[in-house]
Structure 1
Amino acid sequence: MNSLFPVNHKTIFVLDHTPYFGISSENPIDFDVSKSRGPGYVPLPPICKSLWTCSVEAAVEYCRIVWDLFPEGKLVRFVVSDSAAHILNTWATTQQNLTHILNGLCLVGPVRRGAGGDVVGLCAAIEALGEASPTQTSMPNTDRHYQNRGRIICITSARDDDSIRSLAEIALNTLIQQNKKASLVPPATSTEPTTSTPAAQPLVVHYCHLVIINVTPEKAETRVNNQQLTDMGGGIMGVEVIVSRASNLANLLGRLVLPHYRLATTTVTGIPMKEEQNASSSANYDVEIIHSAEAHAGLRAGQTPAEAAESVVLRWWTPRGAEGGAGGCGGALWRVTPADVASRPSACLVNFLLNGRSVTLEVPRKGGGRSASHVLAAQGGELWIGALGGRAPCDDPPALSDGAGGRVTDYRIKEFGALMQQNKLFPLRGTGANTRARTKLQRLTTYWPLTISSTLIFNLGSVMDPLTRLVVQESLTDEEVDQCRSVLLSLLGMESRHEFPSAQLPSNMRGKSGRREEQWRQVWSELEALVRAHSNSAAHRTLLRVLLECRAHNNHGSDNVSRCTRVKSYKVPTFLELIITPFAQRQRHLLKKSVVKFKYNMTKLRG
């Protein structure tokens, strides 16, 4: 029941209406739009909006996006805070529209002089979260086990971080006191929907997301810093502080509405439009639209969070014609609203779609080619976007070759169907039933070739029968072991007669046959893998020993046996030996020569 009423089910805007918000935003806007400027023309000076005007425009634009995309289920209330709390609307569906809000803002009027602050409005907003919405009121009292959660967006201006912290603590204390009062009210036991007013039976607020936006003029300095979402009161309230210039407030709320309601933006690029000044020429424009983030599910796969936060760019394709529409999309549809509803390109796109035309959007590709991804159309006076590529219920199922495996056409489809029939899961009583089912499925799928071309033994048919049929059993009898041994001996005889295993295959399965030794090596390797996968009993292990003996008989198991070769060793001379040995030989030769000369001289002297 927690997902029944998420945080965005209730949203309350608290607008600061104190005298400070009557000052200028210091962001000049050129108000002189006159095209004919004759001599002596005095241009009009630029104007600046007040902080109050910037706050109202940003909050109203936030509501427009929400109510365009969620006509039901997402409720927004306004509280204007000055000397008192002015509640502009309730949770009633009839008051959830821009007309009612704008009329209430007109009654409040511009900023006036006087005391007041945002505290009284914030306390009133917390009390409003405790009031039941029409959907919550319509539920039977016995089923009220849901989480009552909501969000408060307070647009104010504080001096420093201490003032922001004090404001958050006041909101937390008010929430705790209100929950205590709501918990004292005895729950109703009737199974019928309650008819009491929301004030008579308040609800406990299980979580409140408080967003404090500190607004300042363009050139003013502020001592308030941004603060990430922080839990307070044991998780009953989350406080987030955002600092913004008044001129950037509308863009800020336009970005905040995306994560608040799980929305995403798409930039439709390359829209051909006639020029306003010259109808004979056309130019391409871009329009940004907002919709549910689920519309980008197929495009966001494999993206980082930073990439997923950016707008997806889709290119305009040639319209289908007046016969198109949202009904041409077989998948889900999501509502669409322009990000800038006042721009001329957005207005042209909306009028184009409302006239009964639909537009195909494609993903831009650098290498050329087209890949249609979405379609834009109007249905029932509303704009919709649908993702293409999905399969309608009446369409034929996709071919296996179109799946993740690529253009593979030789899957063992019949064998896979038989495997599914053999492994139907039934509820069994007793301990270990789930483990036994998992063990059996693991044993049967440890070695199971997916394609026909990746196996030989499962294509040999009668040559391998009954070995491939009996070995998958949980246990084997002595007679079945003898039958499997006969198959192995028959294969051994075929190999000794130098026969090709592929000669036993049908003509349409032979394909490119390799060498005879390679084919037999594949046969024995597959048999060993198959028997090892099912060697969970003594009979299977006996069969495995027979198989290994057959492989060893023809030296198929000696591929990895290393053979030692005797290498004659010799002494490698060292570096010193290479240098000293020639020198020593030279010295020995000189010494011998000197001795001979000395003996010759001595003999001559004696004579």
Structure 2
Amino acid sequence: MRVFAVSHKTVFVVDHCPYMAESSRQQVECDVLTKSRAQGVIPLAPISKSLWTCAVECSMEYCRILYDIYPRDKLVSLSHSVNYIVSDSEFHILNSWRQEDQSTHELMSALAAVGPPNPREDPECCSILHGLVAAVESLCKITELQHEKRTTLMDTAERVSNRGRIICLTNAKSDTHVRMLEDCIQETILEQNKLAAGSDRLMAIQQCELVLVHIYPQGEDTLVSDRPKKEISPLLTSEVHSVRAGRHLATKLNILVQQHFDLASTTITNIPMKEEQHANTSANYDVELLHHRDAHLEFFKSGQWVYLHMAGTSTRENGLKETVTLKWCTPRTNSVELHYCTGAYRISPTDVNSRPSSCLTNFLLNGRSVLLEQPRKSGSKVISHMLSSHGGEIFLHVLNSNRSTLEDPPSISEGCGGRVTDYRITDFGEFMKENRLTPVSESAHDPSGKFPAERAKAQLERHTRYWPMIISQTTIFNMQAVVPLANLIVKETLTEEDVLTCQKTVYNLVDMERKNDPLPISTVGSRGKGPKRDEQYRIMWNELETLVKTHAGASDRHQRVLDCIVACRSKPPEEEERKKRGRKREEREDRTEKNGSKDTDDKSWQDSERLKGLLDKEDQEAEVIKDSPDSPEPLNKKPRLSTEEAQPPERAKGPVSLLSMWTNRITTANSRKHQEFIGRMSSVNDKFELYQHLKDENGMDVHENGKATR
């Protein structure tokens, strides 16, 4: 079906009944020259517009923006037409769907002929229903573009769709009155579709959107509730907006035209402009422009939005309006210079009659171009757009702020995220070799019924479920020990041999962790030596589990590989305790390395104090063991005669050298490892008497030199 958007046809139905002549109660000052007014001159009283005037002005602004951005006889494929209808005691169709009738000049001339509502007319004879019925009939009429498509597709002319939108500006009585209007439109659509079924000049309506805008004076409470878009039937959807007349209605129609025709807003800030009264001074102004939404496609992707609060509006009436802020750059270019643009979109000022908008448009129509930059708090400025005129029309050009395709091809190390130098280029080359496409007949498909193209797409999807692009972002793909598992797990089916190979790979990793082998963990962006050894293996196991999980649902054998990994990761308590001790030892080593820059004297003093504490502790333990009645003294332990004899002499003289302390400790420890020589224990004046029992046996005294005397 040749689908035409709902925005292809828009019917305005404006209420012309007597109650629309009521004042909007928004004061408009006519005498603004208060300072230069002469004395005695009475100032002009403020006036207020009627509801009818507010409705006509806002609807004309709607049409003006539409015609500025989508002019007639241009971009026919995006043609949008407006049909204007006025309803009182009968309906008045002010224009048709023809392209020559699509202009604000034609509509304003027709509205001038209609004139304002007559407040003395009988309200019982007037109704908005006349205009709504005429609007449905107008939607069934064929536009020029629809006629062209129907003529092109003579055999399938019924496949050309017909959709449209009705915008009704009225003063409704209540919510019940609104539901009655919706029911009337629904019945009229069904009747007109029956008539269009037997006619070549009419088309049945496939979809109709009703946008009912209830207008009420300022200072009064609304009798109609707002309601979002609601589906009344498969052919009709309806939404209700209750808006106060005046600037609130203008803001609402401005928002609706953006929603209906896929437009966006841009606010040009810091525009230097000379003051009218003081020619030597200048001030900065802001101008809001409307254009197609594609001009800000990059902003929408990145979420760079600025929300402006329109003056005099409330949040309930959609006073918050979305706009992208761009900063004025001092113009240093003209139309002769060429810029690399990725798109050009017509613009329409929101407030076309304001002095800043008029000065900006005149400046651009004189052949000047204005560069626009993104406001940034830091860094170099980025020029993203340009305003320039062509053929009497102003366009917003989108400049390529990234690398141009006309320049030299970028290096592979320059990606979107910045300069990256560790891409897995070699692995990507192997990946391309494994996924090359070759010509094959469609009939050569496997028994499962998949065609070769489907199998190729499925294989490519499996291989890319988890494939890090940067070396520093992966661990397992940098390990030769994981290659067998990584190559097998991406297969659609696994054999028992494949499962055993994967399990063997997992066991090898467990053995590496038990041996505390180092892993190829990247230290890019981290301080020091990187994560600890346990943290390295935790990262490796997490990544390996992530890889296998993406393929675990393929078959039961894939799940067995995942179960093996999970089982190997759950360590027994004694293994965890050993890991804790290893972490503590590494922490002590790190602390020792950190403190290695201290003075040597301080380190020697600390070691001396530590050795003193160890010696004191050993002495205390020895005393406890000796004095305990339940603990017999070992045979190979040197008897201690007194505390003074056991304590080295150097211990009582204050601080000693580290070598002396260590020598005393070694001597004391070695003396306890053998039984003391009994002669040393019986010596008198460091002399041991030989042949002690000879005198007792022979009755002789033994003297020195071995001679005996009686």
Q: TM-score, normalised by structure 1?
A: 0.72
* 1:452 CA displacement: 5.2
- Number of the residue aligned with 2:26: 27
- Report whether the alignment pairs 1:81 with 2:87: yes
Partner of 1:265: 265
Residue 5 in 1 paired to residue 4 in 2?
A: yes
Residue 201 of structure 2 is matched in structure 1 by 201
Q: Are 1:340 and 1:346, in contact at CA under 8 Å, matched by a contact in 2?
A: yes
Letter in 1 for 2:93: I
Alignment of 1:332-481 (within 5 A): 332-367=343-378, 369-388=380-399, 389=401, 393-425=405-437, 428=445, 431=448, 433=450, 437=456, 440-441=459-460, 444=463, 450-451=469-470
Deviations 1:70-104 (Å, cap 9, x if unpaired)? 11401111111122211111000011011111111
| Residues in 2 aligned to 1:390 and 1:39: alpha-carbon distance in whole angstroms | 63
Contact kept? 2:365, 2:389, Cα under 8 Å: yes
Task: Summarize the Cα distance change of 1:93–1:455 in structure 2 as closer, same or farther, 3 Å threshold.
Answer: closer
- 1:295-332 Cα offsets, whole Å, 9 max, x none, are 2222233649996952122211222322467x524212
Residue 21 of structure 1 contacts residue 50 of structure 1 at CA under 8 Å; is this kept in 2?
A: yes
Cα 1:82–1:452, aligned 2, differ >3 Å: closer, same or farther?
closer
Deviation at 1:387, TM superposition (A): 2.8
* Alpha-carbon distance change, 132 to 529 in structure 1, aligned in 2, over 3 angstroms: closer
Q: Which residue of 1 aligns with 2:327?
A: 315
Larger radius of gyration: 2
Partner-residue secondary structure (3-state), 1:45: coil
The alpha-carbon deviation at position 383 of structure 1 amounts to 1.5
Consecutive unaligned residues of structure 2, counting only runs of 5 or more, are 73-78, 308-319, 521-527, 559-564, 580-710
Q: In angstroms, what is the RMSD of aligned CA positions?
A: 4.8
- 1:276 alignment counterpart: 276
Q: Tell which deviates more after alignment, 95-104 or 372-381.
A: 372-381
Alpha-carbon distance change, 418 to 282 in structure 1, aligned in 2, over 3 angstroms: same
1:514-593 alignment to 2 at 5 Å?
Answer: 561-562=575-576
Residue in structure 2 matching 1:102, options 93, 105, 108: 108
**Cα distance between partner residues in 2 of 1:43 and 1:447:** 77
CA displacement 1:223-261 (0-9 Å, x = unmatched)? 2222222222x2211122222222132222112111111
For structure 1, the residue ranges without an aligned partner over 5 or more in a row are: 186-199, 503-511, 541-547, 566-607
Q: Is the 8 A contact 2:83 2:94 kept in 1?
A: yes
Deviations 1:476-496 (A, max 9, x none): 9x9xx99xx9xxx9xx9xxx9
Equivalent positions of 1:248-259 (< 5 A) are: 248=247, 249-259=249-259
Compared CA separation, residues 405 and 31, structure 1 to 2 (3 A): closer
2:229 aligned counterpart, secondary structure: strand
Instruction: Give the 3 Å change call, closer, same or farther, for CA 416–170 of structure 1 in structure 2.
Output: same
Correspondence for 1:70 = 70
Aligned to 1:40, the other structure's residue is in SS state: coil
Distance between the aligned counterparts of 2:260 and 2:465, measured in 1?
A: 47
Identity %: 40
**Equivalent-residue separation in structure 1 for 2:436 and 2:396 (angstroms):** 41
Q: Secondary structure in 2 aligned to 1:254?
A: helix
The Cα offsets for residues 417-464 of structure 1, whole Å up to 9 and x where unpaired, read as: 342232135665663537754664466557866445678998899x99
Measured after TM superposition, the shift of residue 152 of structure 1 is 0.8
Aligned residue in 1 for 2:677:
none
- Please state whether the residue corresponding to 2:342 is helix, strand or coil: coil
Checking the alignment, whether the CA contact within 8 Å between 1:266 and 1:289 is kept in structure 2 is yes
Report the alpha carbon displacement of residue 521 of structure 1 after superposing the two structures with TM. Answer: 8.9
Is the contact between residue 330 and residue 392 of structure 1 (CA under 8 Å) also seen in structure 2? no
Q: What is residue 49 of structure 2 aligned with on the other side?
A: 49
Whether 2:161 is the aligned partner of 1:147: answer yes
The 8 Å contact of residues 314 and 362 in structure 1, kept in 2 or not, is answered as yes
The more displaced of 21-30 and 359-368 is 359-368
Task: Call closer, same or farther: CA 1:501–1:265 in 2, change over 3 Å.
Answer: closer
Q: Quote how far apart the aligned CAs of 1:363 are.
A: 2.2
SS of match in other structure, 1:300 = helix
> Is the contact made by 2:306 and 2:323 (CA closer than 8 Å) also made in structure 1?
no
Tell me if structure 2 keeps the 8 A contact 1:329–1:386. Answer: no
Q: Aligned residue for 1:595? A: none
* AA partner of residue 219 (structure 1): G
| Paired positions, count | 524
